[in-house]
Amino acid sequence: MEITLRADGLEHRLAVDPRTTLLDALRERLGIWGPKKGCDHGQCGACTVLLDGKRVNSCLALAVAHDGAQIITAEGLASDSELHPMQASFIEHDAFQCGYCTPGQIVSAVGMLEEVESGWPSHVTRDVNAGEVSLTDEEIRERMSGNLCRCGAYANIVPAIREVAEGGRLR
């Protein structure tokens, strides 16, 4: 099937098998290497992208179902050769070890902060009617629980995210 993928600000027209996942289309057809194939079952978050502004495990999404959608990967977060604040914060806080999960962690963190700004509660939100979410370490951990790090860099990931959230440096 012929589809159009708008990935990281560029429009790509391509023919794909209807069974092709968004992850495979990005990596194998477009050469976008940020989203990683970790578990291929939507359990690790290494393949996280922003799809029309929402966090998605791209290994579970069929490319044909997202014809024309806006896709942002870790590569697309940076602008004019300047790192996105979340990318810079991960570096400043040494929030990675092997780096395999890092692109998915960063993209997920950006999407998560957008959800917080929109007032979306989580499982651990104390007052779901408050309209504003207090982004505690517990909230960050809960909201990022779909992104796993086999190296255990969580001790630095949480402060990296908190710094961006507290500094209002999302963009």
Assign domain 2-75 to its CATH superfamily.
Beta-grasp domain (3.10.20.30)
- Identify the CA nearest to 73 among candidates 26, 115, 37: 26
Q: Summarize pLDDT for 77-123 with one digit per residue, the tens.
A: 998 889 999 999 999 999 999 999 999 999 999 999 999 998 888 88
Domain definitions of the chain by residue range: 2-75, 85-167
How high is the pLDDT of residue 171? 53
By three-state DSSP, how is residue 32 classified? coil
How high is the pLDDT of residue 141? 95
Predicted TM-score (pTM) of this structure: 0.93
How high is the pLDDT of residue 169? 60
Low-confidence ranges of the chain (pLDDT < 70): 168-171
How high is the pLDDT of residue 79? 87
Q: Are 148 and 108 in contact (CB under 8 A)?
A: no
Q: Are 96 and 123 in contact (CB under 8 A)?
A: no
Give residues with Cβ within 8 angstroms of 61, minimum separation 6.
21, 22, 23, 51
**The CATH number fitting domain 85-167, selected from 1.20.1560.10, 3.30.200.20, 1.10.150.120, 2.30.110.10:** 1.10.150.120
How does the average pLDDT of the chain come out, rounded? 93
Residue that is written with structure tokens 């499982």 in the block: 123
